[in-house]
Chain A
Amino acid sequence: MINLAFKDIRHNLGRFLLTTAGISLLLIVVMGMGGIYRGLIQEATLIIDRAGADIWVVQRDTKGPFAEVSKLPRNLENRIEAISGVASAEPFVSHTVQRNKNERVLRLTIQGVPDDGSWLPIIQGRALQAGHFEMLADKSAKLPLGSTLKLGKDTYTVVGITGRMNSPSGDAMVFLSLNDAMAIQADTPAEAIRLERHARLQRFDALPYGSTSVDHADMLMSETSRPAALPGRQISAVLVKVLPGHSMEAVLAKLRTMPDVTAYTADEQREIMLSGFVARSRKQLLLFRTILIIVSTVVMTLILYTLTLDKLHDIAMLKLIGARNGVIVRMIMQQSLLIGVLAFGIARFCGEWVYPFFPRRVVLVSFDLWVLFGIVIGISVLASCAGIIKAMRTNAGEILS
């Protein structure tokens, strides 16, 4: 049988293409929202997954470095390595800085790596070689290979570029040696150190006479033996790997007896991340997507209704020559589905070009795309209903009017 839907589309090709293009633009946004959500999850869990730790040890009663400030002594790793079943314990240092470079605001998440960082996805340059003053920067930081950046008191050179390494907040990550990362985190102006040292002496002077010994006083006043004015360098967490064949529960149980730390499995740390940081963004994106889907449905309904109104005379003629309702319903429904499917295809194709320009990572997952495709089919059917109802109410006699 002659396909009326295709014939009509061919006859009104311009309008059909414009309609499809309009719907596809809406779908690009809907698809992008889903991709941003997936990207958010991926960015949020990226470092947890990449770190490959079995257990995250953080400051007591905190949720870890991604949720809040977590401060641990530098030597904690030694204590943990002594626990039976622990294969390795490595310090984790991560903090965010904001600098201006070439009149551009630069937000970077500084990540300390215990090795040369060769496990990172380096797309240009090389891994870290020197113990100090080198860094690997993510492509999104837009720091070219060989460029330098002053962080703390030192200047660091970009020796490698990584691909798609963003922090949970979407900032570009830079990777430095652990010591460099800690040095930047603990960087304090000289004046602050001098003032703290002075304050200590004042506190010492304020002590009651006889409560301190002469030796104690000599030690505090000596240039070589006095304690540091500021506390020692601290780390954010310790990443623990359990030896193969050993029970992670046993290691966890041991860690949980330590009064100054809290231990989470990697899955728990991931869950903390998703339920806290991502949950609100997820709701917001879901709301946006819902609104956009409703808007798409309304727009499609209006367009298809208008297309049907333009065809009422033809529909009356079809009824007059005896066309069954199914023929008319099929014509409207096929056009609606074709608009929906084509718009989805265009959105999928164009999205590949557009999404890389989004500031946040957009990750398209097959499952999400299939769900969206199902929704598009659903709204196409729904959108055609108004037109179909109008067509069904059209009397063959209207051909005479």
Chain B
Amino acid sequence: MNTVALSAEHLFKTYGEGDTAVHALNDVSFSMNVGEIVALLGPSGAGKSTLLTTLGLIQPPSSGTISIAGTRVFDNGYQVNIRDFRRNNIGFVFQKANLLPFLTAEENIRIAMEVNDASSRESKQYAAELLEHFELSARRTFLPKQLSGGQQQRVAIARALANKPSLLLADEPTAALDSHMGRKVMELLKNVAHTHHTAVLVVTHDHRAIDVFDRIWMMEDGKLSEKNRQD
């Protein structure tokens, strides 16, 4: 399978004006295929988070085009209802799990589906499948505070997959985990990409798990380049 899941052309994002202008994204173009997992590396302030939030339709680029799952979502302006589109096509995983503290593990997954008009029965059924897939069935009724960091992060990944998105964006998902758990989460994301046919873009500083990625991108001063694994 070699279908394009995500592509961007000539993306620019500039903060400020005149002499103080900062080009967080400077003519960024790329494409990602369905079922591919890509690592996005780079020093702090290179523009990684800006790229992630731009692709996640959280903030618009200054110019350029973005296409996700065959739909042109940005072309010098949003072309879709961003919240509806995000709900159906994009999943997010963050450094912190950001689970809703008043919902159980199962409910945190279900809510993502139910805000997308899934019935209670459907959401329960698919949440149970995801929890089983991520070996969390026994923790189904636990609140986030009753789960370990790794378990919370797995629930967050399950939630991100609840609506079967074409694109999963992960911002340093292993930063708060120990190396063993970090590795496990990265492998889980790879598994997600390959089995759920989702394009997974992971911002990471964790070089120990670099081997799980299909491709590695480097971001520096707002510019994106592809690296060889040997580099």
Contacts and interface: CB of A to CB of B under 8 A. Distances in A.
A11 B101 contact: yes
Contacts of B107: 2, 7
Interface in A347-401: 395-397, 399-400
A214 interface: no
B29 interface: no
A397 B111 contact: no
A318 B92 CA distance: 12
Interface in B167-198: 171
B37 to A, nearest CB: 21
Contacts of B7: none
B87 A321 contact: yes
A322 B120 CA distance: 17
Interface in B102-133: 102-103, 107, 110-112, 114-116, 120
B137 interface: no
A321 B112 contact: yes
Interface string B46-88: 0001000100101100000000000000000000000110111
A395 B101 CA distance: 19
B102 A7 contact: yes
B22 interface: no
Contact of B100 (A314, A395, A396, A397): A314
A396 B159 CA distance: 16
Nearest to A315: B100
Chain B interface size, under 10 / 10 to 19 / 20 to 34 / 35 or more: 20 to 34
Contacts of A400: 49, 53, 58, 94, 171
A135 B158 CA distance: 82
Given A2-B107, A400-B94, A321 B58 contact: no
Given A327-B115, A397-B59, A400-B171, A320 B102 contact: no
A313 B98 contact: yes
Contacts of A145: none
A240 B107 CA distance: 75
A1 B120 CA distance: 6
Consensus secondary structure, chain A interface: helix
A397 B101 contact: no
Nearest to A395: B58
A322 B111 contact: no
Interface in A304-355: 313-314, 317-324, 327
Contact of A399 (B87, B94, B102, B163): B94
Interface in A1-18: 1-2, 4, 7-8, 10-12
Contacts of B58: 320, 395-397, 400
B61 to A, nearest CB: 14
Contacts, number: 73
B85 to A, nearest CB: 8
B115 A324 contact: yes
A322 B102 contact: no
Interface in B133-153: 143
Contacts of B120: 1-2
Contacts of B59: 397
Contacts of B110: 2
A327 B107 CA distance: 15
A317 B86 CA distance: 12
Contacts of A327: 115
B101 A320 contact: no
B99 to A, nearest CB: 8
B102 A321 contact: no
B103 A321 contact: no
Contacts of B92: 320-321, 399
Nearest to A397: B58
Question: Which of B94, B100, B163 has the largest count of A CB atoms less than 10 A from its CB?
Answer: B100
B70 to A, nearest CB: 19
Contacts of A321: 86-87, 92, 111-112, 115, 159
Nearest to B85: A322
B8 to A, nearest CB: 18
B83 A317 contact: no
Contacts of B115: 1, 318, 321-324, 327
B102 A12 contact: yes
A116 B18 CA distance: 100
Contacts of A322: 83-84, 86-88, 112, 115-116, 163
22 contacts: A1-B115, A2-B103, A4-B103, A4-B111, A7-B103, A7-B107, A8-B102, A12-B102, A314-B100, A314-B102, A318-B100, A318-B115, A321-B86, A321-B111, A321-B159, A322-B116, A322-B163, A323-B87, A323-B111, A324-B83, A397-B53, A400-B171
Given A7-B107, A397-B53, 16 more contacts: A1-B114, A1-B120, A2-B110, A2-B114, A2-B120, A4-B102, A8-B102, A317-B98, A317-B100, A320-B58, A321-B112, A322-B88, A322-B116, A324-B83, A396-B86, A400-B53
Interface of A: 1-2, 4, 7-8, 10-12, 313-314, 317-324, 327, 395-397, 399-400
